[in-house]
Chain A
Amino acid sequence: MSGKPTAPPKIYTATFGTGGDVVRGRQITEAEAVMERQSDHDVVVCGQNLADNYDLAEKIETAANGNCKPCPPHSAMGPGALPHFQPDPRGMRQGHTFYETAKRKSKKPKTS
């Protein structure tokens, strides 16, 4: 891990694009992210520091759904697929808390 200080991660609502891409929406607070997850919506944690992103994603998913587990991307998914946390077990809950890595980033929404 780099010792350089980095800006704190930001949280966004998220939707799926094509090929496993994660498209970020509006920026939200941590509390809003927990509520989004409790409503079965996806969110994504974005930032330069993987460990910070991982910690915040886990914190959000745990606050929203209790036990959770990490899931790195499947090999058949595209380069835009992001690792994520999800409830463990799934129960009736849907969605994911995605997070960015150095190599895998969310996509900006297309503007019309």
Chain B
Amino acid sequence: MKYFTPELYLRFRSPGREEVVEAHDDWEAAIDSYRQHIKEIGPSMTANVRNLAESLCLHDAEYLGMAVLPTPDAGKPLAVLLTRQNTSRVFLVYLLAEQPLTRPVERNWPFSKEQVHWLYDEFDVDEGGVQQHEVLLSNGQIVTLRFHEMQLIRHNVEQPALV
């Protein structure tokens, strides 16, 4: 995470009120910088990913897990992130460029590790054109997915598709 870093997020829990106020200012600056970054890298992203980078908001969605599936003909695996947001299940499907990475933040994590949910995320593209999605989860884990293409599937569990 380059913009919505765990360190910045944890400053919202600083003991001093001046630090907390500064964290709010720095968060606003991070939002502005990130939006500018997305504009700049937009042409390097696929259309799907560009749209998701501009609009995807799974904040507070329940994180139900990740599956990595082999795709023998494509040579690269698929990853599926499953979340639940209100009455919808949201599947994020990635055609991976490499195996996903999950790692803990490098600081003590003061928040609950139960009932894991989505906090913040950001997209990026490297110089080789590989796209990246990083997600900070409420249990203090960061999931990094480097991929070629990504799709979102939203399924409303209370209004299943008509057959």
Contact = CB atoms under 8 A, between A and B. Distances in A.
A88 B138 CA distance: 9
User: Which range holds the interface residue count of chain B?
Assistant: 20 to 34
Interface in A69-105: 69-77, 83, 86, 88-91, 101, 103
A70 B57 contact: no
B147 to A, nearest CB: 19
Contacts of A88: 111-112, 138
Given A51-B17, A72-B9, A83 B120 contact: no
A76 B4 CA distance: 12
Interface string A45-56: 000001100110
Interface string B31-60: 100110000000000000000001111011
Interface residues of A, number: 23
A51 B19 CA distance: 10
A83 B21 CA distance: 12
A69 B59 CA distance: 14
Interface centre among A1, A74, A77 (most CB of B within 10 A): A74
A67 B54 CA distance: 32
A75 B136 CA distance: 13
Interface of A: 1, 50-51, 54-55, 67, 69-77, 83, 86, 88-91, 101, 103
